[in-house]
Amino acid sequence: MKFGNAPTGGGSCATLCASGAERRAQHGPCDRGGLAVTVAAIGNTGNAAQLFRGTNHSPSYFMLNRAGVAGGGQDIVDFCIPCNPYFPTPGMFDELSAMLRDILTYYPSSADTITAELAHLLDLQPQTMAMGNGSTELITWIDHLLVKDSLAVPIPTFGRWTDQPDETGKRVDMFRLPERHGFALDPDAFVSFIRQRGSRTAVICNPNNPDGGLLSRDAVISFMDSLADLDLVVIDESFLEFVDPDSGPWPSVVDEAVVRPNVVVLRSLGKNFGLHGVRFGYLVANPSLARKVRSRLPKWNLNSFAEIIVFMLKDHQQDYEMSLRMLARDRQEMISQLGCLPGMTVYPSQGNFVFVKLPEGADGVQVRDRLLSEHGVLVRECGNKLGSSSQFMRLVVRSEPDVQRLLSGLSSVLYGSAWYAPLPGGQQLQAAAYAPSPGMRLTAPGAGMPGAGAGLPGPGPGSGRRRR
């Protein structure tokens, strides 16, 4: 297991929203996980479309299943929920199946026991860690215990970093990431914004969700140095495991967090392993901060599934490392293929997802609903994510056969053509002529696409030992 890195980008555009109620009325927070699996195809999608209405979150796998979702008579392929499609391995699932009765029957060990095992695997000290029932439980406790009156965060980002402090009456200062610079975070501009607003807590997600932008280790350390006087600085590394292992020095700042008085690093095991239903994550901080959170957590806040999986990891390290390399390969291929769609803007990503902007005139809600009902493809439309709009989608990285299904559906919905997708070896198969959907203007492939088809960003500055 490890902790991750990539380059930083330029540009900044600062905005804030003083009223949480006004913000929710205009946009609504969003971001929700679930199981990244193929949904059983039963019934129809008529009721499923209503599950997306009037909510700040994507419907769960179970909600879709109960609604009897089927997409054009096909099993549904999930491009919505971030996952690791290669881990756990089929053999690990067989092991879990064989232990299912015991897992459901018996109490788990205490959180201290499970944390000690995970700390050993990560080469960390247990007193610098706290494990939670998912990273969102830890975000809740961080807000209650460590955030005093205000919090600054770039947007778009993971919705709980804006919604949680707003729900407890804190002022949320939102720094808008500039679309014209590919949503890249300029740390210096963000620091200036924090000073102007007088924010007492600062949060960055690295890589960021939904765009996958990544700061180098040096950039994050400089950011923490600049804010050493704040009450708290949180570096959310929930998706850092998915950084290309060949992209350069490892940028995690976990080793810095354990010696700094005001820094917390957050990690998510559910995202790393594609096991969102297990609900387990952890934070790393200096012993005093970690103890403050750990002391408020229930003694048995982790379930037996979490315990069994943590104790299985030492025997499956190679499988896990291989899964990350396979996912990095799939991500580069998926970015390249999506970049060939006319008018589609594709942003470089180091997460297990790709952020795209639909061609001008496309309505993301309609595209999402048609992909689901006609092609059995579930996607994450980002209209209710602060700092984004319905023209943007976050697409989870999946294997080639699933991506071909996505590309086929997108070409049909967006252009009225049966097929548009690159083939292996650089060849390209496309319809002889496109019949754009009504009101849609198309541009040439690659036009105005930052990073489209260009693969992954190169390694940025930074240092640090990669932790396994």
Q: Tell me: the pLDDT tens digits for 241-291?
A: 999 988 778 899 999 999 999 999 999 998 888 888 899 999 999 999 999
pLDDT of residue 63: 74
The CA-CA-CA angle for residues 260, 188, 238, to 5°, reads 55
d(CA 328, CA 322): 10
* Neighbour tally for 171: CB within 10 Å: 19
d(CA 230, CA 375): 49
**What are the structure tokens assigned to 329, written together?**
């390969």
Please tell me the pTM assigned to this model: 0.81
Please answer whether residues 7 and 457 qualify as being in contact, where contact means their C-beta atoms are separated by less than 8 angstroms.
yes
pLDDT of residue 24: 38
pLDDT of residue 53: 66
pLDDT < 50 stretches in the chain: 2-46, 426, 429-468
d(CA 352, CA 271): 9
Nearest to 119 by CA among 310, 266, 344, 247: 310
pLDDT in tens, 233-254: 999 999 999 999 887 788 999 9
Please name the amino acid found at residue 23. R
Please write down the HEC assignment for all residues of the chain.
CCCCCCCCCCCCCCCCCCCHHHHHHHCCCCCCCCCCCCECCCCCCHHHHHHCCCCCCCCCHHHHHHCCCCECCECEEEECCCCCCCCCCHHHHHHHHHCHHHHHHCCCCCHHHHHHHHHHHHCCCHHHEEEECCHHHHHHHHHHHHCCCEEEEEECCCCHHHHHHHHCCCEEEEEECCHHHCCCCCHHHHHHHHHHHCCCEEEEECCCCCCCCCCCHHHHHHHHHHCCCCCEEEEECCCHHHCCCCCCCCCCCHHHHCCCCCEEEEEEHHHHHCCHHHCCEEEEECHHHHHHHHCCCCCCCCCHHHHHHHHHHHHCHHHHHHHHHHHHHHHHHHHHHHCCCCCCEECCCCCCEEEEECCCCCCHHHHHHHHHHHHCEEEEECCCCCCCCCCEEEEECCCHHHHHHHHHHHHHHHHCCCCEEECHHHCEEECCCCCCCCCCCCCCCCCCCCCCCCCCCCCCCCCCCCCC
HSE-CB at 168 with a 13 A cutoff on CA atoms is 18
Q: How many residues can be counted in the chain?
A: 468
User: 105: Cβ–Cβ under 8 A, 6 or more apart, which residues?
Assistant: none
Please answer whether residues 147 and 165 qualify as being in contact, where contact means their C-beta atoms are separated by less than 8 angstroms.
yes
> Looking at the DSSP assignment, which residues form a beta bridge with residue 171?
150
Please name the amino acid found at residue 197. R
d(CA 348, CA 450): 8
**How far, CA to CA in Å, does 6 sit from each of 215, 249, 328, 462?**
5, 8, 13, 8
Sheet holding 263-268, edge to edge: 129-132, 281-285, 263-268, 232-236, 201-205, 150-155, 171-176
